[in-house]
Amino acid sequence: MSVTECRARTTVADVERSLSGWGRTATSRCRVYRPRDVEDVLGVLSEGARGGTGVIARGAGCSYGDAAQNEGGAVLDMSTYDGILAIDPERRLVTAQAGARIADLMVGLAEHELTLPVVPGTRHVTLAGAIASDIHGKNHHRDGAFARHVTSISLCTPASGLMVVSPEADADLFYATLGGMGLTGVIVEATLRAEELPSPWVAADVDRTNGLQQTLELLSGPERHRYSVAWLDMLAEGSKMGRGVISRADPLPARDAPSRPRPWPRGKTYPATLSQGAAFDVPRAFPPTLLRPASVRAFNALNWRKSPRRERGRPLALAPYFFPLDVLGQWNRLYGPGGLIQYQFVIPSGQEAVLQRSFELMRMRRLPVYLAVFKRFGAAFGGPLSFPLQGWTLAIDLPGAAPGLRSALDELDELVASCGGRVYLTKDARLSRAALLSMYPRLHEFDTLRCRVDPDGVLRSDLARRLGLCGDLR
């Protein structure tokens, strides 16, 4: 069914709401629709075309910046369009609607002793959001990003209505949608590959490092583990800056998994831990003065000291290993009304000198980095806007109101772009168009594909307007 065929249909009612990303640094007033079916999605696209205010899809609102909001325009809230449509245990395939969460998918697959091959740092991301952002996990160096495991996508486009795209059917549009930030169409359904779930455990090797140099040396060696990630203390002073805790792990076979203590509360099963709520919700009125460089520095020192210097084969439960922050509901409120900015970049392999300079720049500008996660990426895969490429990636959380933050991040942008690196758009809230053009060399390819399925620029978001992604890039 095309968009024009849906123009006579009355779409689901809209509600005007204020929306922001997870970072809560910018708010937009939008008309929010909750579609009941594909016809509703096409109807909203049609209305957006006539009204000229545009449409963007939104899932769980986990993007840190402004990728899923549309000032003065329409937003399709796909979070309740969340059914799991089919699980094929023999072929290891799962098909689900756009709003199905990572947790939902893992629960459904666990009943068949299967799981997802790639998961992000939170279980609340939706399937469509995972595809549009081409999310990555602790195993990118081995298994790539989420998009590598997608086999087909059902996509509502302004020009062609409902389309089913895959590597065999309109491959260019399929790959552009992987990491395409929702600007090639509204994802309504997708099929992806699953894999065997040996047990709800991993066996982790843990190393504590004394400074950045030792952290880089340990991570630079051959990587034999499936999962690898490092927590860094960026507020430690002098040579201790960049000290960290490196965790490298592999799935633990059922025969080696411990029976006690269980990795979940009494009476709970592994799937139940994935769908249960947070242990504690941060209140709306949380005093922002409690989260200051001095208090974070003290917490970091304590966390570093209590971590083992060297431990091998430590059994860790899957749910808390993959989703450590999910235990704290609405943790973004810790940053107060000024919100937070998460800045994530990747620097290509062979550019380790630039990586070192980026750390030095953060130290010189005294950036209040409250959380830092560091890991390696494997080979690039996906479309023109897909973020991961082979190299080193660092994600840092910073208070949005920190003095001098924007100018310091502008300097980091220049440094990252100078060596062929890039910033992750899903977490971006302030990148300039000029920086984008330097970081993503296939933008004209993306614009050509976007114009084919959306010649009138119906699909737009605050991020797309800011970066010139819903208009001519010339």
pTM, 2 dp: 0.94
If you write DSSP's letter for every residue of 142-162 in order, what string do you get?
HH--GGGGEEEEEEEETTTEE
What tokens does 24 get?
Answer: 């809560």
> Computed from CA positions of residues 213, 231, 23, 438, in that sequence, does the dihedral angle turn out positive or negative?
positive
Helix orientation angle between 352-364 and 405-418, rounded to the nearest 10 degrees: 170
Q: What is the structure's pLDDT at 154?
A: 98
Per-residue DSSP letter, 20? E
Q: What is the structure's pLDDT at 232?
A: 98
State the burial class of residue 299 (Cβ atoms within 10 Å of its Cβ: 0-12, 13-18, 19+). Answer: middle
Quote the CA–CA distance of 461 and 62 in Å, as a whole number.
Answer: 15
| Domains parsed from the chain with CATH numbers | 201-253+269-433 (3.30.70.2520)
The candidate with the shortest Cα–Cα distance to 45, out of 82, 81, 83, 12, is 12
As a dihedral over the C-alpha atoms of residue 464, residue 468, residue 470, residue 474, rounded to 10 degrees, the angle is: -160
Q: What is the structure's pLDDT at 286?
A: 86
What's the per-residue H, E or C state across 92-120?
CEEEEECCCEHHHHHHHHHCCCEECCCCC
Q: What is the structure's pLDDT at 11?
A: 54
If you write DSSP's letter for every residue of 296-339 in order, what string do you get?
HHHHHHHHHHHS-SEEEEEEEEHHHHH-GGGGEETGGGGGGGG-
Which residue type sits at 415?
L
Q: Where are the alpha helices (DSSP H) in 178-292?
A: 212-220, 270-275
Quote the CA–CA distance of 65 and 67 in Å, as a whole number.
Answer: 6
Q: Would you say how long the chain is, in residues? A: 474
Q: CB-based contacts of 293: which residues, under 8 Å, 6+ apart?
A: 235, 368
Q: Which helix (H) or strand (E) holds 414?
A: helix 405-418
Quote the CA–CA distance of 148 and 118 in Å, as a whole number.
Answer: 9
| Average confidence (pLDDT) per 10 residues, the chain, 474 residues | 43 85 96 96 92 93 96 96 97 98 96 96 97 97 96 97 98 97 98 96 97 94 94 95 97 84 54 78 86 94 96 93 93 94 97 96 96 96 94 97 96 98 97 97 95 95 95 49
Which residue type sits at 371?
L
Q: What is the structure's pLDDT at 106?
A: 96
Q: What is the structure's pLDDT at 3?
A: 44
Per the omega criterion (within 30 degrees of 0), is the bond before 261 cis? Answer: yes
Q: What is the structure's pLDDT at 1?
A: 44
What tokens does 382 get?
Answer: 């996906």
How many Cβ atoms sit within 10 Å of the Cβ of residue 184?
Answer: 30
Quote the CA–CA distance of 337 and 335 in Å, as a whole number.
Answer: 7
Quote the CA–CA distance of 295 and 281 in Å, as a whole number.
Answer: 20
